[in-house]
Chains A and B, each alone.
Chain A
């Protein structure tokens, strides 16, 4: 058995669900990394987390009614993004409280919808799927729409790139140049909701924060330009995602009958990469 066979269990690349997983997961990693860089810079990780949590209601609705989770996640996440921006301008402490409580209600709604989905349609795996992802169970027909969502997000991000950078650097500087800062903030959240959609399908609603923030935070530490940060983050995200899928596939043979969850591998790889990025501290040159 060659080294390659040891790492990649046989049949990996030929496996249908694996191919779907690689494509959707890859798309999720790229768009999450790209917008994640801005989310980290702007200090809006909590908003990303809240968005992801609340999108779970959309996913559960999809399970209940029987349409593709992609649209469920997307619809609710987009609505939540707009609500967040509307709430967003108040004092940080109050905002966190309000966000947390209102989205707690959203999670409660998820509980209810999942309950119905499990009871009426006997999809007992619904809770796992929605909250922790079901990347191997994605129907191949969803791949194109998913990649389209990801591509759409990237295009939108490219369009607002410069104003978003300037507004993130200092909102007053941007406003003085005529940039509509609240609009730019809203568009950032909307692209974030697109990313959340894909990452929720990949690793599930609650874990999608890892995909959004982990590779981005690692890249921001290591690079000097936003463009480089996006590229590096995408690379790290792809490594974690594809590596996780590979390990999950391999794990079929470890504890017989029960493979380990993919999202566990992906999230753990992201965490490991983040920790590694902390090891390299670039020397800071400061004038006296």
Chain B
């Protein structure tokens, strides 16, 4: 059932690689301004789901619609912040240039100075609070600074949907808080739909409107309170899962199979998924 107001509409999406299914029958839809966390442990299919939405991966079944468009037409409506930019060598590209590439990187030819472009780049740099290091090389920036530039790059064409693949991994606590705050601002003030993948949902608890929880190739979707519950996750994983709330944090703990492995880590709890 298609929600006419939806920015992103994923319907019964299945993705399989030769020999193994990765995602089965995933369905959810997001409205403008909604902040959604795509949560799952490593290998659960988060990146695959994002890439399928982006059009980089073909699904074996199901549809993805963005603002009503399902084919290549949806490209211009999305912004993407990939998982990690690893630089082989010092990349001669200033942070400011990376943001500019977000505007016209797909056009042929050289880019000539343009007042309109410069203004738009400045606006984005201000929005992500990156003016202080805008003229440094992208490869010289810290992880948090790079993320902000990549977000600016993705946002400069004012997409309706912003997809981020594990933006918080490898960031220190302060940088995590910064990025989450920034993304929340985009959702709240600018009405952008945000889909963030993470293996730890705790930094996002305060800002998430909805959650798509991936495990065993299937997804439980809905509001956070509805999904992150013992019954729901146990059904998803296929065996008993305990959801523990401690000091405002959520711990997802697996018990059973060969031995009991309760794991509680203070700052960055990790869910354990016992694969039978």
Residues of the A chain whose Cβ atoms lie less than 8 Å from the Cβ of B75: 176-178
Collect the chain A residues with CB atoms within 8 Å of residue B236's CB: none
Q: B101–A224 contact, CB under 8 A?
A: no
Distance of A223 Cα from B98 Cα, bound (Å)? 15
Known: A161-B110, A286-B142. A169 touches B85 (CB 8 A): yes
Quote the shortest CB–CB distance from A283 to chain B (angstroms): 9
Cα A33 to Cα B75 with chains together (Å) = 35
Cα separation A172 to B50 with both chains bound (whole Å): 11
Q: Are B142 and A176 in contact (CB under 8 A)?
A: no
Chain A residues near B137 (CB-CB < 8 A): 224
Do the beta carbons of A173 and B82 come within 8 Å of each other? Answer: yes
The segment from A35-43, A135-143, A246-254, A256-264 found at the interface with B is A35-43
In the complex, which residue of chain A has the Cβ closest to the Cβ of B54? A176
The listed residue (A41, A166, A285) touching B101 by CB distance below 8 A is: A166
Residue of B nearest to A181 (CB): B56
Q: Contact mask B44-56 → A, CB, 8 Å, 1/0?
A: 0000000100111
B109-146 near A? 1/0 per residue, CB < 8 Å: 11100000000000000000000010111101110110
Q: A225 touches which one: B85, B94, B105 (CB < 8 A)?
A: B94
Q: Is the CB of B145 within 8 A of A162?
A: no
Assembled-state Cα–Cα distance A158/B138 (Å): 22
Within 8 A of A (CB), among B125-171: 133, 135-138, 140-142, 144-145, 153
Which residue of chain A is the closest to B95 with respect to CB atoms? A224
B172 nearest in chain A by CB position? A288
Compute how far the CA of A220 lies from the CA of B82 in the bound complex, rounded to whole angstroms: 24
One of B82, B104, B108, B141 near A286 (C-beta < 8 A) = B141
What's the Cα separation between A179 and B107 when bound, in Å?
Answer: 9
- Is B260 interfacial (CB 8 A cutoff)? no
| Interface size of A as a range | 35 or more
A94 to B153, CA, bound (A): 35
Q: Mark A156-181, 1 if CB is under 8 A from B, else 0.
A: 00111111011011101111111100
Q: Is B133 touching A165 in the complex (CB atoms < 8 A)?
A: no
B270 touches A (CB below 8 Å) = no
With both chains docked as a complex, state the minimum distance between the C-beta of A25 and any C-beta of chain B, in angstroms: 25
B93 A225 Cβ-Cβ under 8 A? yes
Size of the chain B interface, CB-CB below 8 angstroms = 39
Cβ of A224 and Cβ of B106 under 8 Å apart? no
Question: Given A169-B101, A224-B94: A162 and B89 within 8 A (CB)?
Answer: no
Decide: B140 and A285 in contact? CB cutoff 8 A. yes
A192 to B144, CA, bound (A): 35
Q: B56 — nearest CB in chain A belongs to which residue?
A: A175
- In the complex the two chains form, is B140's CB within 8 Å of A162's CB? no
With both beta carbons as reference points, the residue of chain A lying nearest to B85 in the complex is identified as A170
- Judge whether B133 and A41 touch: CB under 8 Å: no
Return the contact of A163 from the options B82, B108, B142 (Cβ within 8 A). Answer: B108
Assembly CA distance A165 to B91 (angstroms):
10
**Hey, what's the 0/1 contact readout for B238-269 against A, CB within 8 Å counting as 1?**
00000000000000000000000000000000
Determine if A165 and B101 form an interchain contact, defined as CB atoms under 8 angstroms apart: yes
> Are the C-beta atoms of A162 and B142 separated by less than 8 Å?
no
**Complex: A217 Cα to B91 Cα, angstroms:** 11
Q: Within the complex, what minimum Cβ distance (angstroms) separates A241 from chain B?
A: 22
Cα distance, A44 to B80, chains bound together (Å): 26
Question: Contacts A224-B135, A284-B140: A165 and B105 contacting too (C-beta < 8 A)?
Answer: yes
B-binding residues in A (CB < 8 A): 37, 40-43, 158-163, 165-166, 168-170, 172-179, 217, 219-221, 223-229, 284-287
The 5 closest A-B pairs by CB, nearest first: A166-B105, A43-B88, A229-B92, A177-B106, A176-B80
24 A-B pairs, CB-CB below 8 angstroms? Answer: A37-B92, A43-B88, A162-B104, A162-B105, A163-B108, A165-B101, A169-B91, A169-B138, A172-B54, A172-B82, A173-B80, A173-B82, A173-B105, A176-B80, A177-B105, A178-B75, A178-B106, A217-B89, A219-B92, A223-B92, A224-B135, A226-B97, A285-B133, A286-B142
B: which residues have CB within 8 A of A?
A: 51, 54-56, 72, 75, 78, 80, 82, 85, 88-94, 97-98, 101, 104-111, 133, 135-138, 140-142, 144-145, 153
